[in-house]
Amino acid sequence: MGAAKQTKHRHSNIAVFIPHMGCPHTCSFCNQRSISSTAAAPSADEVRRTLEAACEKLPDGDSEIAFFGGSFTAVDRSYMISLLETARPFVKSGKVRGIRCSTRPDCIDREILDILESYGVTSIELGAQSMDDGVLSANGRGHTSAQVEKASQMIKERGFELGLQMMIGLYRSTPEKDMNTARKIIALSPKTARLYPVVILKNTRLGELFQNGDYIPYSFDTATEMCADMLKMFETTGIRVIKLGLHASETVEADILGGFYHPAFREICEGILFRREIERHTEKGGSYTVCVSPNAVSKAMGQKKCNIEYFSEKEISINILTDENLKNREIIIKRN
């Protein structure tokens, strides 16, 4: 009783944050100071030093330089080019395998793509967030789902790797709208995806709506079950989910008002997938041995062994062992 094999991909970024520069909108959820843990934009010289220090610690060709945090293609053109000029020699030398940037769907056009291509950019991520125009408007995104589709097509036609980012649980969204967004993003066939369950931060419009009682987020269990569904949907179609949940940082944790934050959010969702797979092959009153890869033991057990407790309450005994021949979420279940 084995799950389908999945190929493991390494993904490593040398992240350079360009906080909230160039972005023409302040979205309901956005507090870039908390998200990027920085307020000042780095100079080209600071970026060069960051890249040099990072490349000393990483194998050649194993990482990407990633310009994240703001809308990279909407920043001052001369500043954007200065950063690209700083990064390009690291690509040419083979120290990194390429340059990745994130931007808005409405900040992509042929001229921008010409510039990015000329400086060795290989991957472009778009912050789609939702494919529901009502949700986009309610959260101040300032673009439409049609612009996401158009920009995605342009990026792929030019040979860039496309990444799409979505958020789960936005103001005026619903589980049905979120699942529809996931399906529409999958239909655009990105190479990678980032799934960000909403984290409500101080000093944001969403925070005000939450504190006033005008925005009530889903329960944490609803969010994790949905994200587990989405993770499986994306992986089944060959799309790598390179991030699930907002990255852990002391700054973010200090500014959280609510939402779906946990430093091991992805592991919780993967634990749900293990639980579901085990449940498919177990019966009440049975005793089972479950073999998983060595790096999946904690996921199979669930956060704080919640899967073990879940089955115990159903009078099912689970013993989890490791098998070096198994990878990722491959699993072998035997009745004792």
Give, as one character, the DSSP assignment of residue 41: P
Average pLDDT estimate for 294-319:
96
Q: How far is the CA of 283 from the CAs of 245, 280, 291, 306, 314, in angstroms?
A: 33, 9, 17, 18, 9
pLDDT of residue 61: 83
CB 261 within 8 A of CB 246: yes
Residue 274: pLDDT band by 50, 70, 90 thresholds? very high
**Residue 154 identity (one-letter amino acid):** M
Residue 131 has pLDDT above 50, yes or no: yes
pLDDT of residue 226: 98
Residue 11: pLDDT band by 50, 70, 90 thresholds? low
For residue 66, which of 203, 192, 219 has the smallest C-alpha distance? 192
Residue 38 has pLDDT above 70, yes or no: no
Structure-token pair, residue 244: 């699930």
**Residue 22 identity (one-letter amino acid):** G
> In whole angstroms, what separates CA 79 from the centre of its chain?
27
Residue 25: pLDDT band by 50, 70, 90 thresholds? confident
Mean pLDDT across the chain, nearest whole number? 91
Phi and psi for 200 in degrees, rounded to 5?
Answer: -90, 120
Q: What is the pTM of this model?
A: 0.90
pLDDT of residue 8: 41
Residue 44 has pLDDT above 80, yes or no: yes
- Look at residue 294 and give its three-state secondary structure: helix
- Look at residue 63 and give its three-state secondary structure: coil
Residue 1 has pLDDT above 70, yes or no: no
Cβ neighbors of 247 (< 8 A, separation 6 or more) are none
Q: How far apart are CA 138 and CA 242, in angstroms?
A: 27
Residue 6 has pLDDT above 50, yes or no: no
What DSSP string describes 164-212? EEEEES-TT--HHHHHHHHHHHHHT--SEEEEEE-EEETTSHHHHHHHT
Q: How far apart are CA 252 and CA 36, in angstroms?
A: 9
Helix axes 44-57, 77-92, angle to 10 degrees: 20
Pairing of strands 240-244, 317-322: unpaired
Q: How far is the CA of 288 from the CAs of 26, 275, 291, 316, in angstroms?
A: 52, 13, 10, 8
Average pLDDT estimate for 137-144:
96
Cβ neighbors of 271 (< 8 A, separation 6 or more) are 299, 300, 301, 302, 303, 306, 307
Residue 32 has pLDDT above 80, yes or no: no
pLDDT of residue 242: 94
**Residue 209 identity (one-letter amino acid):** L
Can you list the domains of the chain with their CATH numbers?
Answer: 13-263 (3.20.20.70), 276-335 (no CATH)
For residue 220, which of 203, 237, 245, 194 has the smallest C-alpha distance? 245
Q: How far apart are CA 153 and CA 129, in angstroms?
A: 17
pLDDT tens by residue, 149-203? 999 999 999 999 999 999 999 999 999 999 999 999 999 999 999 999 999 999 9
Structure-token pair, residue 88: 């390009």
- Min mean pLDDT across 24-28, 79-83, 130-134, 331-335 is at 24-28
Cβ neighbors of 88 (< 8 A, separation 6 or more) are 99, 119, 120
Looking at the DSSP bridge assignments, the partners of residue 317 are 287
Torsional class of 262: left (φ above 0), alpha (ψ -120 to 50), beta (otherwise): beta
For residue 255, which of 71, 32, 23, 21 has the smallest C-alpha distance? 32
